[in-house]
Amino acid sequence: MSKIALISGVTGQDGSYLAELLLEKGYTVHGIMRRSSSFNTGRIDHIYLNNPGFRDKRMFLHYGDLTDSSNLNRLVEKIEPDEIYNLGAQSHVQVSFEVPEYTAEVDAIGTLRFLDAIRETGIKTKFYQASTSELYGNPLNTDPTPASGLPIPDYRLTELSPFRPTSPYAVAKLYAYWITVNYREAYKLFACNGILFNHESPRRGETFVTRKITIGVSRIMAGKQDRLLLGNIYSARDWGFTPEYADGMWRVLQAGKPDDYVLATGETHTVREFIEEAFAQYGETLTWEGKGIKETGKLSGSKKTVIAMDPKYYRPTDVKYLCGDATKALKELNWAPTVRFKELVKIMMEHDRDL
Ligand code: NAP
Ligand code: G4F
């Protein structure tokens, strides 16, 4: 008997890679997709629409929404999954400042709805919650950015590091984290958190900074765009490659007991370094001038300004530094990412240059 998985957020970046992985492992995969006025299955068409084998036998899509309890109850009862991956979310941090209540409905209470559906139906299943390194936020009284003149720190965040969320998104995800832990303890559910640091790919949404840069740089170098407008280019992120993180999610649910795990590369870079590495794929280097909102990046040869700042991309509060320590995942799940920063930028640039 093949195992049955139910994925919320199957149309997103992570959901699409996870669905692929589980199908390869022989699972039957059920995905929840939202009703939309335009097509929203672009990331999974290759394994669903264009592949009758999966379509008829091992992959199924269901309309649903994390704001709809009765829908989630029905799906859990009907599908009786062995594993549930809750990846659905309003996942954009800056957007969460514009729609904080909706973000809480989906990211926080949506997780509770799913857990309660498991409890109420009594279905024996494992539950994976897509938790995030955004939970850590900024430690109190620090400003570890190059712009501040203070040195970039070199600490790494673990499962035991304190959480101090700094956006409506992160606060909603904090609730989801703890309600998952609470249902594990109170009702003995096999419920786990993957605390994932940023992970990117050619399927990353185009409004997240890495993809915005790889698309923007490709367009600039093709003569289709003059410059790229950005916000805080001094924040530092621990960027990994999404397919490896999808494998990590699966491993979290294969562990002997339910627990919470950090998945990260242990290497961190600023947004500015990501931009420089993207231009380096074309053999270009940048000269930086000015400070703060007036800072610009010029192509060193032609002196053409290709990077400029725009106030609309600065967040009311931003997480400045993230670097994770995935030692526990290595020891207990045998999970270790192999794609490092330069290779990640290369993979994304090659894709978007062709695009
Ligand atoms: P994504 O590309 O934005 O995908 C989000 C998915 O959630 C999409 O399928 C979206 O549907 C769906 N969704 C949004 N609102 C929903 C609702 N009300 N009901 C049901 N589904 C809904 O995000 P991702 O990068 O794949 O991330 C997956 C999960 O991991 C998210 O929970 C995110 O917060 C978390 N996470 C991501 C990262 C990262 O670096 N990528 C790191 C840590 C944690 P549409 O396609 O219709 O919009
Ligand atoms: O790419 P970002 O929007 O990702 P962010 O905020 O780190 O969140 C992502 O990773 C989280 C895991 O840590 C996930 F939980 C979350 O769902 C999402 O996938 O921004 C990265 C950094 C930020 O500091 C932002 O201020 O880039 C900075 N940035 C600078 N200019 C920009 C821009 N971000 C975006 N999106 N667009 C800009 O123009």
Rounded-to-integer distance, Cα 19 and Cα 23, Å: 6
Atom nearest to 89 CA in ligand 2:
17
Of 5-19, 54-68, 188-202, 287-301, the poorest mean pLDDT is in 54-68
Active-site amino acid positions: 132, 134, 169
Counting ligands in written order, which one lies closest to the CA of residue 33? Answer: 1
Ligand 2, CB within 6 Å, residue ranges: 91, 93-94, 132-134, 197-198, 207-210, 212, 230-233, 235, 237, 271, 313, 315, 318, 322
- Span of 42-56, 79-93, 152-166 with lowest mean pLDDT: 42-56
Any idea what DSSP says for residue 312? Answer: G
What is the C-alpha to C-alpha distance for residues 274 and 227, in angstroms, rounded to an integer?
16
AA letter at 234: Y
The confidence band for 175, taking pLDDT boundaries of 50, 70 and 90, is very high
User: For the chain, what percent of residues have pLDDT higher than 70?
Assistant: 94
Q: What is the mean pLDDT of residues 52-57?
A: 62
Report CA(6)–ligand 1 centroid distance (Å).
15
- Report how far residue 85's alpha carbon sits from residue 96's, in angstroms, rounded to the nearest whole number: 22
Which ligand 2 atom minimizes the distance to the CA of 314? 26
Judge residue 161's burial from the number of C-beta atoms within 10 Å of its C-beta, 0-12 exposed, 13-18 middle, 19 or more buried: middle
Predicted confidence (pLDDT) per residue in 330-340, tens digit: 999 999 999 99
Q: How far is the CA of 12 from the centre of ligand 1 (A)?
A: 5
The total of other beta-carbon atoms located within 10 Å of residue 82's CB is 18
Contact 197, 245 (CB under 8 A): no
Ligand 2 mean position, distance from CA 93 (Å): 7
b (16+ CB within 10 A) / e for 131-158 = bbbbbbbbeeeeebbeeeeeebeeebbe
Give pLDDT tens digits for 90-105: 999 999 999 999 999 9
Q: Using CA positions, which residue lies closest to atom 6 of ligand 1?
A: 9
Beta pairing class for 199-200 and 240-241: parallel
Tokens 């992570």 belong to residue: 14
pLDDT attached to residue 259: 98
How many angstroms separate the CA atoms of 121 and 118, rounded?
5
User: Which among 324, 174, 332, 185 is positioned nearest to 248, based on CA atoms?
Assistant: 332
CA of 49 to the centre of ligand 2 (A): 31
Query: What residues does ligand 1 touch, defined as CB less than 6 Å away?
Result: 8-9, 11-15, 32, 34, 36, 40, 65-67, 87-91, 106, 130, 132, 196, 198-199, 205
Give the confidence band of 327 by pLDDT, cuts at 50, 70, 90: very high
In the chain, how long is the greatest CA-to-CA distance?
66
How far, in Å, from the CA of 197 to the mean position of ligand 2?
11
pLDDT (mean) for 292-311: 96
Cα angle 221, 272, 171 (rounded to 5 degrees) comes to 120
Least confident of 93-107, 147-161, 289-303: 147-161
According to DSSP, the residues that pair with 60 across neighbouring strands are 30
Helices 69-79 and 110-121: crossing angle in degrees, nearest 10, is 40
- Kindly give the number of the ligand 2 atom that is closest to the alpha carbon of 319: 24
What's residue 1's pLDDT? 76
Q: What is the CA radius of gyration of the chain?
A: 21
